[in-house]
Structure 1
Amino acid sequence: MDWLDQQQQYFETLQNFGPRIWDGFLLTVQLTLVGAALAFVIAVILGLMAGSPNLFLRGPARVIIEFFRGTSLLVQLFWVYYVLPLFGLTLESAFTVGVVALGVNYGAYGAEAVRASLTSVSSGQWEATVALSMSWPHKIRRIIFPQAWALMIPSLANLLVHLLKGSAVVYIVGLNDFNFELDQLRRVTDAWFAYAFVGLVGYFLFALILTQGMRLLEARAKNKLGQGPTLKEILSPAPKVPTSGIRPGGAA
């Protein structure tokens, strides 16, 4: 059997595996989106605490961030799945275990992006909030965070793609995710077809969609600050003609 005939046979096998591959891919999508939502909430809370002038908030936040950044996602997954039940805290499903492990791990990384973005807001903005006698929650909510939000999105976008790839470890707690189903496909085809073709295309397309979505979110955040075009202008198929520097009669 030559190589082309073998690949044709593999594609026929893939058709039979199609429903399983699709279900595994959907599970990976759910893990990524729900885990990212939890990670974002944790990142904002810890990031705000780490950037607080109050030592009683900043200190515990630093300890939590460094602990979860300094330990392996795989170890944390085992810890949530096997160790927490020893203390009487059993999560309802393996899916919840995966979401919690992903959310806590990447939330700790995201907290640094939030804190760094807060400190990147110009000192003049901070000074203006002090001059207006704004409380810490008020200044963060109304002035600082909207500006920091546009700055932190690129870093959060990178973490989102890393979270997608990190979700591949959840098969060890019994979840039949995309990576698990790819391994089952490998058993009846080969590693090249299952991982280097089906897996590569699947993960890449989902990562591309996530990245483009985050870029649109960044553009919207910048537009709200008066920087850059609107989403309508970005998505419009009509070409954008610059108007600055053009004199009457067409002379520049």
Structure 2
Amino acid sequence: MTSGQLRLLLEGALNTIYLTLGGTGIMLVLALVAGIARTHGNRPVRFLAGCYIEVFRGLPVLVLAFWFVFALPALGWQLAPLWAGMLALGLNMGAYAAEVVRGAIQAVPPGQTEAGIALNLSRWQRIRYVEVPQAYVAMLPPLGNNLIELLKASAAVSIVSIPDLTFNGQLIRMSSGETTLVFTGLLFGYAVIALVLTALMRLLERRAVRSLGRVPEPGMLRRMLRRAEATA
């Protein structure tokens, strides 16, 4: 493999990382909004959140990417293929992650919510200071799985001319004919990215568990109450 081909492969790996990180950001925002809406919203809000989850869980990422790249311009909006891929990945995986958020919030012991009510915290203060920090620990392992699934799904959107690892690997294969070498390189490339992301998620999980299990510092509850009152 020549230096030019290796550089093209590295550029594709960088674009794959961009796709994964951008899609993950969209996924997390949508998951938090839809997950909290499913647990604490009124009936219309719960209905809208449910519609988003059920619809986008059933739509293939590739079809979404095709729609954003080829159909959306007919409505007057033009997205770069890379941004279209991020949006398609984030919308699809956000629907799955929203159920993770919902389940984690519902798993918080009812006594914790009752304690927040006893402290005269509003609904949103209870969500922010009581429920989400405890649900965060339970969310991380399945969200890590969603992150790896998003990374793997990013290979599919290369078909809409996103110069990611798979797309650039195909270009190298067609120009050099080195099928075995190129696809072996793709296997190792995705494996390395997945291992790095998994290690980062494991680090976050350990830190979250330690922060949740630590002994409260003197005055911590008082500071939390003052912060909650200040944002009321």
- Of residues 10, 14, 18, the one that matches 1:26 is 14
5+ long unaligned stretches in structure 1: 1-12, 228-252
CA distance in 2 between counterparts of 1:164 and 1:100 reads 13
CA distance in 2 between counterparts of 1:53 and 1:146 reads 19
- Residues 27 and 90 in structure 2, CA contact (< 8 A), matched pair in contact too: yes
- Residues 81 and 161 in structure 2, CA contact (< 8 A), matched pair in contact too: yes
What are the within-5 Å matches in structure 2 for residues 18-167 of structure 1? 18-91=6-79, 93-167=80-154
Structure with max Cα Rg: 1
Structure 1 residue 206: deviation in Å? 0.6
Q: Does 1:169 align with 2:143?
A: no
- Residues 39 and 102 in structure 2, CA contact (< 8 A), matched pair in contact too: yes
CA distance in 2 between counterparts of 1:141 and 1:203 reads 36
Q: Give the equivalent residue in structure 2 for 1:246.
A: none
What are the within-5 Å matches in structure 2 for residues 196-207 of structure 1? 197-207=184-194
- Residues 24 and 177 in structure 1, CA contact (< 8 A), matched pair in contact too: yes
Q: TM-score, normalised by structure 2?
A: 0.87
Structure 1 residue 90: deviation in Å? 2.5
Q: Give the equivalent residue in structure 2 for 1:9.
A: none
Give the match's secondary structure for 1:225: helix
Give the match's secondary structure for 1:200: helix
- The one-letter amino acid of 2:203's match is L
Structure 1 residue 16: deviation in Å? 4.1
Q: Single out whichever of 99-108 and 128-137 deviates more from structure 2.
A: 128-137
- The one-letter amino acid of 1:172's match is I
Structure 1 residue 70: deviation in Å? 1.0
Structure 1 residue 53: deviation in Å? 4.7
CA distance in 2 between counterparts of 1:54 and 1:130 reads 19
Structure 1 residue 209: deviation in Å? 0.4
Structure 1 residue 173: deviation in Å? 2.0
CA distance in 2 between counterparts of 1:95 and 1:14 reads 26
Q: Does 1:183 align with 2:179?
A: no
5+ long unaligned stretches in structure 2: 215-232
CA distance in 1 between counterparts of 2:47 and 2:15 reads 37
CA distance in 1 between counterparts of 2:41 and 2:149 reads 31
CA distance in 2 between counterparts of 1:29 and 1:144 reads 31
- The one-letter amino acid of 1:131's match is A
- Residues 47 and 112 in structure 1, CA contact (< 8 A), matched pair in contact too: yes
**Matched length:** 213
Structure 1 residue 34: deviation in Å? 1.4
| Cα shift readout 1:145-166 (whole Å, capped 9, x = no counterpart) | 0000111000110111111111
CA distance in 1 between counterparts of 2:90 and 2:193 reads 19
CA distance in 2 between counterparts of 1:174 and 1:61 reads 32
CA distance in 2 between counterparts of 1:62 and 1:107 reads 12
Q: TM-score, normalised by structure 1?
A: 0.80
- The one-letter amino acid of 2:147's match is L
